[in-house]
Amino acid sequence: MIWLDTLGVKYIADSGNHRIRSIDLNGIIRTFAGTGATAFNGDNQPATLANLNTPYDVKTDTVGTVYISEYNGCRLRFVTADGIIGTLIGSTTCGIATTNVQLVTPTTAIGRVYYFWINSLGFLYFSERDNNYVRKVYYEIPTTSPTSSPSPLPSMSPSEVPSLLPSCNPSIHPTTTPTAIPTASPTTNPSLSPSALPTVLPTSSNKYYLMTIAGNGVAGRTGDDGSAILASLNQPVGIWGDSNDNL
């Protein structure tokens, strides 16, 4: 995958070399993220020191954050404008996450992701190939109003990331049923300690969510002319939206 940002910088998902490369306006290529090794070696560090496992897609948002789908790592990563990498969603194993549940730690297990899309509001959508879903990540600012609507995902910092969890067989076609795992508390995650909280984001009381947009989790091709979440998908890969935010 190749992405061109608003400044004219090109980003290349160099999947076989487990790196994201960038080409500046002078035609000079550099490694933007990744070391060439694949074993996860943590967040909250310069992206050039972080391992990536088969990055497939790369995109930028309007504030300079770069997002990366790490296919065999079963993660969506992000790199802030100052070059620090974090995990938006994903865990040490592939799995199936519960939908429409508050995300409280950066350990939500998801299936393999090829491609994703960020719409004009900042919502991030991704195709979850293994689990036959199309998902959406968004956040909601706490309010006393029962009619409040979700706000878009902000520019993320490695210390403020969502998650929620089951794990399952990490094969391309998982056959095991995910086991329930107790909901994690933010206090159990060092990255969410008060001293590590970012200063440019909403407070840690914000509620982050994962939503299923399409697919019922069963591989198939049924469901046309009906609700997208009741339809069957079979290993969805590509995803895109138009200027009206139609997916």
With cut-offs at 50, 70 and 90, classify the pLDDT of residue 211: confident
Tell whether the model's pLDDT for residue 91 goes beyond 50.
Answer: yes
Give the CA distances from residue 102 to residues 98, 175, 206, in Å, rounded to whole numbers and listed in that order: 9, 26, 9
| pLDDT at residue number 137 | 85
| 14 SS3 class | strand
Q: Report the pLDDT value the prediction gives residue 25, as an integer from 0 to 100.
A: 96
Residue 142 contacts residue 157 (beta carbons within 8 Å): no
Q: What is the pLDDT of residue 120?
A: 76
Q: What is the pLDDT of residue 100?
A: 65
Computed over every residue of the chain, the mean pLDDT equals: 75
Quick: pLDDT tens for 122-174: 788 999 988 999 998 877 644 444 344 444 444 444 444 443 333 334 343 44
- Range with lowest mean pLDDT among 114-118, 169-173, 209-213, 222-226: 169-173
Could you give the 3-state DSSP secondary structure of residue 195? helix
In terms of DSSP bridges, do strands 75-79 and 84-90 run parallel, antiparallel, or are they unpaired?
antiparallel
Q: Which residue has the higher pLDDT, 26 or 42?
A: 26
Mean pLDDT score, 78-84 = 93
pLDDT reading at 239 higher than 80: yes
Q: What integer pLDDT is reported at residue 16 of this predicted model?
A: 95
- Dihedral pair phi/psi, residue 135, rounded to 5°: -120, 165
How many C-beta atoms surround the C-beta of residue 185 within 10 A? 10
Least confident among 59-63, 157-161, 180-184, 186-190: 186-190
Residue 36: the pLDDT is: 96
Is the pLDDT reported for residue 119 higher than 80?
Answer: yes
Instruction: State the pLDDT at residue 105.
Output: 55
pLDDT bracket for residue 206 (50, 70, 90): low
**Mean pLDDT across the stretch 100-124?**
78
pTM equals 0.72
Position 63 scores a pLDDT of 82
Q: Specify the range with the lowest mean pLDDT, choosing from 18-27, 37-46, 190-199.
A: 190-199
Cα separation, 20 vs 31, in Å, equals 6
**Contact between 152 and 138 (Cβ < 8 Å):** yes
